[in-house]
Homo-oligomer: A and B are copies of this chain.
Amino acid sequence: MKRIKLVVAYDGTNYCGWQVQPSGITIEQVLNQALSQLLGEEISVIGASRTDSGVHSLGNVAVFDTQTRIPPEKICYALNQRLPDDIVVQSSCEVDLEFHPRKCYSEKTYEYRILNKKIPMPTLRHYTYFYYRNLDVERMRQAASFLVGRHDFKSFCSVKTQVEDTVREILSCTVEKSQEDVVTIRVTGTGFLYNMVRIIAGTLISVGIGELEPEAVVQILEQRDRNAAGPTAPAKGLTMIGIKFHKNS
């Protein structure tokens, strides 16, 4: 028996997110089916980031156990033959049997992209949130700086989840605007709460249009109340960029 780690990229547009659920097709489900067919075993992957419906990925991570004799590095090529063109495994390798992608130290990076101009651009419609009111990127950067560090992010967590410990650490949070008017919020952290990046994005947008002062982020953190933060920005602007693990992978 060996444990295989996959780096999984997908266009989330046509999926009901990562996690298997009754109401629609998910990334996890498509991977499980393709792997089970390929390897002739019943496979259930464990995902690192259980992304929401409509969220994209360049580098999510999943592991599974198998008895296959296919060389670990070759599994991705064989698997991609059985996957639709909106889910593509970027690499595969063997890891320790103890390696669990949600139970070890990791640094996850997400990007939230906003198309900030008066009129939408069709080729960006699935991968950016179109927002026509002008965003002041410098103000957003100031607000972002208050999020960096170890904080209680209860205000930035969907009320739908009931996690006990809402303390998380953000290692960096940057905001850039491209020539094509795409504002990119890039967040790296060692752990994230449910909807956390999308609520950060919604809050930074509120700062960018002047509804909130950059310094307000400090009070929002202190209030530990979801209503204190800005709205949850739409899923399609969010992309899981990649995950660094410090050992076993």
Contact = CB atoms under 8 A, between A and B. Distances in A.
A149 interface: no
Nearest to A87: B122
A123 B85 contact: no
- Number of copies of chain A assembled together: 2
B80 A122 contact: no
Contacts of A89: 119
Contact of A120 (B88, B119, B123, B126): B88
A148 B11 CA distance: 37
A190 to B, nearest CB: 24
A10 interface: yes
Nearest to A90: B119
A127 to B, nearest CB: 6
A121 interface: yes
Contacts of A87: 122
Interface string A119-152: 1111101110000000000000000000000000
A11 B123 contact: yes
